[in-house]
Amino acid sequence: MRKKKIIFCTYFDKFYLLKGLSMYQSLKAQHKGVQLWILCMDSSTYFILEKMRLQDIRLISLKEFEDQKLLKAKANRNNLEYYWTCTPALPLFVLSRSKDCSHVIYVDADMYFFSSTNAILHELGNNSIFITEHRFPEDQKNRIDTQGRFNVGILIFKNDKLAFSCLNRWRQQCIDWCYFREENGKMGDQMYLNEWPALYNKLIISQNLGVNAGPWNILQYKIQQKGEKIYMQDDELICYHFHQFRILGDNKFINSVG
């Protein structure tokens, strides 16, 4: 019997290629041999990554990935909105095509890993779904109304009926409506997660401040370095979400502050 495995997945286009490669390198530094499935959102990305022949990578072309429902949705939204539409479809695609996958971990391409994800899996335990809150500072709690309580940056789904049910429902919701505007409690792919705690009893909301830290929450915490490790308060930094990080040139960049 083959051993069950954990598969990471992400998607990006040529404009996020450097961020996606940085995420891959940081992941490989922490997890030797782990598989990363990449949905290439344009032909340039697929061509470049195919030529690079990176280890433990499974490339997914749009031709392989898209079905009629996705293609119909693609026709009535812009690129960013369509990318968001694909978010739930990607982990569902992975689970459907890798029968020996025990868990799929979706990560945004602008995530960077500073330590092992073992602590995340330990926190998940025997549950089916893992999500993280934005953790907005107290004076910015109103952002939940327009951006959602939870951030899609890293999600874990166990290969079980509950996770499949969640992903199928979310996929259909995003196909029906996924736009870059706030409307009736919806915004993109992200605000659908607001209802998950009430719907799924085997769902874990991470209490680890070192998971999916980002510019919208980091300034409220004490950040310190101990040896080679970085800590958010007392929690080791596992992954940081470089939201809106832009490289302008050698040693020149813009980093989001919220």
The per-residue pLDDT for 252 is: 73
The per-residue pLDDT for 250 is: 78
Calculate mean pLDDT across residues 243-256. Answer: 72
Task: Pinpoint the alpha helices (H) of the chain.
Answer: 17-30, 43-52, 62-65, 68-74, 79-86, 89-97, 118-124, 144-147, 161-176, 196-199
pLDDT at 207 over 50: yes
Calculate mean pLDDT across residues 171-176. Answer: 99
pLDDT band at 36; cut points 50, 70, 90: very high
The per-residue pLDDT for 253 is: 67
Dump pLDDT digits (tens) for 54-76. Answer: 999 999 999 999 999 999 999 99
Domains and CATH numbers, the chain: 5-212 (3.90.550.10)
